Structure 1
Amino acid sequence: MRPKLDGILETAVYVDDMEAAHAFYSDILGLKRMVAGERLFAYDAGPAQALLVFHRGHTGDDVPTSGGIVPGHDTSGHSHFAFRVSADQLQPWRDYLGEQGIAIISEVTWPAGGTSLYFNDPDGNVLELAAAPLWPNFLA
C-alpha cells in the first residue's frame, strides 16, 4: 500500500540576485526570512510551509552536512509557484501591488470559481496569488 503524503513542505525558486530577491520577498511580500546563506534564503510561507530562494548556479554541487549529503540541484529559466489567499484579499493585493509598482501580468477566473493574480519577482519568476476554488482539493 502506498504511504500517505501530507502535502508540500517547501517550494523553491531560483534567482540571480539574492539581495533583490530578499528585498522583494521580505519587504514587498512580507515573508520572514528564517535562513540566510550564500546559496539559500528560506522564508516562512505559512504554517509548516517554506519558500526556498536558491542562488541560481550555486546549488548544483552536493552539500555535505553533519546529518548527510544534500544532493545538488539547480534550474534555468523562470519558475512558478502560488500563494494561497482568501477571496476578500484579492482587491487589497491588487491595490498593494499597484502601489509597489508591481504589475499584475494576468488575472484568471477559473471554471470552479476561484481567481488567480499573476505577477513577476525581480528575476522574472511567475508568482500567483490564488483564491479558492481552483482545484478539487482546494478548500476555502
Structure 2
Amino acid sequence: MTGHTPPVLGTLESALYADDLDAATIFWRDVMGLQPFQSVPGRHVFFRVTPSQVLLVFNPAATEQPPRPDARLPVPPHGARGPGHFCLAVAADRLDAWRDHLTAQGIAIEADFHWPNGARSVYVRDPAGNSIELADPAIWG
C-alpha cells in the first residue's frame, strides 16, 4: 500500500434511469436544452452537458442484463429502480430565468430555496420521477 490515492480529473458522466426513453429525450432535449448525441432504442440515450461531461439515461430493464458472451463492448450490468438525483450548475443570476422557463414548459417547481450559505437551488422532477436540481455552484463553496 502506497498511501497515495491517484488523482481524478472530475466527473465525466452521470447516469439516470428511465423506463420511457422517448419521454426522457423530450424532457432533456426540448425542456432542458441538452443535445442527444447517441441512442439505442429501448436501451439508452446520451446527452452532452458540457464538452467533457455527459448525462447517460438508461432503461434499467435493458442495462441490468449481463452482456452477451460475444458483445463488442462488454459493459457490466447496471441499473437502478426508483428516483435518482441529478444537479446542473447554473449561474446564480440565471436561476430566475430557469424557473420561468420551466414553469412556461409546464414543469412543476418542487422546491426553490436558499441554503444556509445563501446559495439557491430549484428542484423539479423529470418524467421518470428523478429529482433534478438546478443550483448555484456556491452551494458547495
Normalized against structure 2, the TM-score is what? Answer: 0.90
Once the two structures are TM-superposed, the CA of residue 43 in structure 1 deviates from its matched residue by: 0.3
For 1:6 and 1:63, how far apart are their aligned partners in 2?
28
For 1:40 and 1:132, how far apart are their aligned partners in 2?
28
- What is the aligned length? 135
For 2:84 and 2:6, how far apart are their aligned partners in 1?
29
Q: Which residue of 2 aligns with 1:53?
A: 57
For 2:77 and 2:6, how far apart are their aligned partners in 1?
26
Which ranges in structure 1 are unaligned for 5 or more consecutive residues?
A: none
Name the one with the larger helix percent. Answer: 2
1:93 aligns with 2:125: no
Once the two structures are TM-superposed, the CA of residue 108 in structure 1 deviates from its matched residue by: 2.4
Normalized against structure 1, the TM-score is what? Answer: 0.91
Q: Which residue of 1 aligns with 2:39?
A: 36
Once the two structures are TM-superposed, the CA of residue 17 in structure 1 deviates from its matched residue by: 0.6
- After TM superposition, where is structure 1 displaced by more than 4 Å over at least 4 residues in a row? none
Which ranges in structure 2 are unaligned for 5 or more consecutive residues?
A: none
Name the one with the larger strand percent. Answer: 1
Q: Which residue of 2 aligns with 1:110?
A: 115
Give the CA RMSD over aligned residues: 1.3
Match 2:79 to one of 69, 74, 77: 74
The percentage of aligned residue pairs carrying the same residue is: 40
For 1:31 and 1:132, how far apart are their aligned partners in 2?
19
Larger radius of gyration: 2
